[in-house]
């Protein structure tokens, strides 16, 4: 693995903002805008609601078909009362706002949002390949070539988000989906935050094994936390387990802050080098934006004209076999209290 990331020597900070010079195809932009226009003003009655794809703390994601167009989507539906009960309103509103301002091949795009008396809804891109986490666990670990492909895809997604002043803050295999061709897409933007360059935020959020030292130490954090998490992800793809892993939460945090990583013998020198330079405690020395990589075809990656390492069966577009099956009568949102009418104004953003 030989991802090459260069440091901005003039500022002493890892370069986060410089574009890598790759442009989206005009056809991609046209197609995405067409879907948004097509779903503008949609309501639940416009969709044929089918099986559950995933269940969360205050809602679920269902597979749906848009009746007028016949297109398939993933419908994220969140119980209003549970959102308020679990004090997640700000995260939910932030997620919707962020999804409305982004569109990129390696993120799960949102095309519409609406609400009814009980739920708020987000119509999302359907990723037929299922959860990347499941594929990774089935394979145990990836070889250098496959890990490089997916690391490069995630890196482009993070660079895109950062260029729009968005810090993702929850990178992990569970938040990556695969589309019908095996390309990766970042999902779940509940912890994401719009953060202007040079600013910091102090919210403690994310998955413990993927937290950057500055989050644990409450020093304030920004975009570099995503590059740290990329280092953790690369390690986990190549090793089959994260570099920092302890059932004792305090011991886990101590190991993260010390950044002492024990590499398996299978790691190549290049892979070890890139992980070490991403898992750098000093944010001024942590690597950031990708500049170049010899021998890697970035144009084919962004245009998705190269073969992905994980092959997805060529089934129908409405195939959901790569997702876990759920009991449609169970879940935290079933039986949830009705929203107090006096709180309805809190969801005006939908």
Domains of the chain and CATH, by start:
4-22+130-302 (1.10.510.10), 26-128+316-347 (3.30.200.20)
3-state SS string over 313-341? CCCCCCCCCCCCCCCCCCCCCCCCCCCCH
Give the per-residue pLDDT at 290. 52
Q: Does residue 11 carry a pLDDT above 50?
A: no
CB atoms within 10 A of CB 17: 13
First to last CA, the chain: 44
CB–CB of 126/72 below 8 Å? yes
Q: What is the CA radius of gyration of the chain?
A: 20
Rounded (10°) CA dihedral 174, 146, 32, 177: -20
Give the per-residue pLDDT at 336. 81
Average pLDDT, whole number, for the chain?
91
Q: Does residue 293 carry a pLDDT above 70?
A: no
- DSSP-derived letter for residue 259 is T
Question: What is the rounded distance in angstroms from the CA atom of residue 277 to the CA atom of residue 288?
Answer: 9
Sort strands 72-79 and 59-66 into parallel, antiparallel or unpaired: antiparallel
Give the per-residue pLDDT at 334. 84
Give the per-residue pLDDT at 5. 39
Give the per-residue pLDDT at 292. 53
CB–CB of 340/85 below 8 Å? no
Give the per-residue pLDDT at 349. 77
Range in 131-145, 220-234, 326-340 the model is least confident about: 326-340
DSSP state letters, 153-205: HHHHHHHHHHHTTEE----SGGGEEE-TTS-EEE---TT-EE--TT--B----
Which ranges of the chain would DSSP assign to H, the alpha helix? 26-39, 80-85, 89-100, 132-139, 144-163, 213-216, 224-239, 249-258, 269-278, 298-302
Question: What is the rounded distance in angstroms from the CA atom of residue 77 to the CA atom of residue 122?
Answer: 7
- DSSP-derived letter for residue 311 is P
Residue 347's nearest CA partner among 164, 122, 107, 110 is 122
pTM: 0.92
Mean pLDDT of 252-258: 97
φ and ψ at residue 102, rounded to 5 degrees: -125, 155
Q: Does residue 193 carry a pLDDT above 50?
A: yes
Q: What is the largest CA-CA distance in the chain?
A: 60
Q: 115 labelled as ligand-binding? A: no
Question: What is the rounded distance in angstroms from the CA atom of residue 8 to the CA atom of residue 277?
Answer: 14
Enter the tokens of residue 154: 């995630």
Q: Does residue 233 carry a pLDDT above 90?
A: yes
Residue 169's nearest CA partner among 199, 136, 196, 203 is 203
Question: What is the rounded distance in angstroms from the CA atom of residue 201 to the CA atom of residue 199?
Answer: 7
Q: Sorting pLDDT into bands at 50, 70 and 90, what band is 1?
A: low
Mean pLDDT of 150-162: 95
Residue 310 parent element (H or E): none
| Percentage of residues in the chain having pLDDT higher than 90 | 83
Mean pLDDT of 286-308: 80
Give the per-residue pLDDT at 300. 92
Question: Which residues are known catalytic residues?
Answer: 170
């Amino acid at each position: 693995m030989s991802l090459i990331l260069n440091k901005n020597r003039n500022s002493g900070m890892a370069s986060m903002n410089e574009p890598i010079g790759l442009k989206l195809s005009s056809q991609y932009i046209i197609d995405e805008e067409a879907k948004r226009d097509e779903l503008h003003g949609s309501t639940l009655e416009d969709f044929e609601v089918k099986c559950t794809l995933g269940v969360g703390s205050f809602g679920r994601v269902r597979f749906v078909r848009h009746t007028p167009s016949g297109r398939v989507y993933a419908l994220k539906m969140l119980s209003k009362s549970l959102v308020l009960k679990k004090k997640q309103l700000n995260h939910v509103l932030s997620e919707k706002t962020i999804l409305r301002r982004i569109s990129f091949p390696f993120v799960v795009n949102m095309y519409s949002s609406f609400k009814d008396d009980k739920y708020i809804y987000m119509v999302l891109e359907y990723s037929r390949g299922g959860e990347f986490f499941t594929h990774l666990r089935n394979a145990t670990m990836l070889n250098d070539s496959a890990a490089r492909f997916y690391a490069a895809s995630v890196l482009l997604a993070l660079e895109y988000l950062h260029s729009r002043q968005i810090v993702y803050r929850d990178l992990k295999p569970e938040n990556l989906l695969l589309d019908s061709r095996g390309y990766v897409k970042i999902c779940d933007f509940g912890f994401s935050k719009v953060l202007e360059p040079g600013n910091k935020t102090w919210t403690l959020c994310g998955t413990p094994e993927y937290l950057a030292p500055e989050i644990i130490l409450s020093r304030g954090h920004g975009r570099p936390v995503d590059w740290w998490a990329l280092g953790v992800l690369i390690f986990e793809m190549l090793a089959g387990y994260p570099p920092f892993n302890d059932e004792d939460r305090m011991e886990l945090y101590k190991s993260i802050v010390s950044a002492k990583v024990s590499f398996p013998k299978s790691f190549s020198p290049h892979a070890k080098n890139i992980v070490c330079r991403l898992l750098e405690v000093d944010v001024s020395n942590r690597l950031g934006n990708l500049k170049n990589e010899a021998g890697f075809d970035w144009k084919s990656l962004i245009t998705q004209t190269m073969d992905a390492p994980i092959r997805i069966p060529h089934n129908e577009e409405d195939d959901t076999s790569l997702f876990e099956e759920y009991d449609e009568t169970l879940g935290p949102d079933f039986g949830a209290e009705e929203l107090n009418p006096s709180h309805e104004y809190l969801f005006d953003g939908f």
